[in-house]
Amino acid sequence: MGWKDSKIQFKNCFVSRRPRNQQFFKKRGDDTTNQLKLDEVNKDNIEFDDGNYTQFDLTIEEVNISLSFSKWLSGKGIIKECSIKGLRGLVDRTHVHWLPGDKATNYKNISRPGDWEIENLKMEDVLFTMMNPNGFKTFQVSIYNAEVPIFRKNWLMFDMLNSKHISGCYDGSLFTINRIQRVDDFKEEMKINNEVKLINKNKNNNDVSVIDGKPRDDQSTI
């Protein structure tokens, strides 16, 4: 942990999300053992974590963050800006399963006080392995460089698609996301170019070339 460019810097970080009660966690399949352990948990009034969510183990070479207490008091998280460099690890979704009749809308991420909202997120040299449920193939995801002007918990995909620039590789396929360029973005540049052209035009009209001390109009043609 250190201090650099008015930001808090962490090096060689390890971030993990796994079931809290490892002794009660197991993969799907052994329903008998699962039920016995559930009965034991309910008997002892211990919270049971079935691991039905995305789990991960990540190592990060360098993280730089800046804090904002005004954001924290307004319920948008304490982190204002964040930059990540050198991320490696594993994202494990093999334990994720859906019950019959379940709907994706039941898991809609609704904004709540305390959800983080990062104003400027930058990532470099990111590589992790994605493990998928139902026997789907495992593949790697890379992000070479990314600059996201705003990154919110309840608008993850929207903010990623609205980023300034993201380049990477998804399952062996290169991709690039750039913000759409509009005519309005070039108005200032077009205004400057028009002013330069007008100055050059006036200069050419007022410029009189001189040859041997006499104006060109006075020169006799040969």
Q: Give the confidence band of 182 by pLDDT, cuts at 50, 70, 90.
A: low
Burial (CB < 10 A; 0-12, 13-18, 19+), residue 120, is: middle
What does the pLDDT look like over 142-176, one tens digit per residue?
999 999 999 998 898 899 999 999 999 999 999 99
Decide: pTM greater than 0.85. Answer: no
Residue 188, φ and ψ in degrees, nearest 5:
-65, -40
Q: Which residue has the higher pLDDT, 135 or 210?
A: 135
Q: Average pLDDT in the 39-57 region?
A: 70
- Are 147 and 122 in contact by the 8 Å Cβ rule? The answer is yes
- Taking alpha carbons only, the member of 53, 58, 17 closest to residue 143 is 58
Distances (CA, A) of 68 to 1, 62, 118, 149: 18, 20, 10, 16
pLDDT of amino acid 27:
47
- Are 163 and 149 in contact by the 8 Å Cβ rule? The answer is yes
Dihedral over Cα of 146, 151, 157, 158: its sign: negative
Q: Which residue has the higher pLDDT, 48 or 76?
A: 76
- Are 70 and 57 in contact by the 8 Å Cβ rule? The answer is no
Q: Give the confidence band of 221 by pLDDT, cuts at 50, 70, 90.
A: very low
Where along the chain do its domains lie? 2-183, 185-218
Q: What percent of the chain has pLDDT over 90?
A: 42
Strand-pair partners of 169: 142, 174
Q: Give the confidence band of 141 by pLDDT, cuts at 50, 70, 90.
A: very high
Q: Give the confidence band of 102 by pLDDT, cuts at 50, 70, 90.
A: confident
H helix runs in 3-110, sequence order: 31-44, 69-73
pLDDT over threshold 90, residue 129: yes
Q: Average pLDDT in the 209-215 region?
A: 50
Three-state secondary structure of 109-140 = CCCCCCCCEECEEEEEEEEEEEECCCCCCCEE
Can you list the positions of beta strands (E) in 68-217?
79-92, 117-118, 120-131, 139-148, 151-152, 165-170, 173-178, 210-211, 214-215
pLDDT over threshold 80, residue 185: no
How much is the mean pLDDT over the chain? 80
- Are 165 and 147 in contact by the 8 Å Cβ rule? The answer is yes
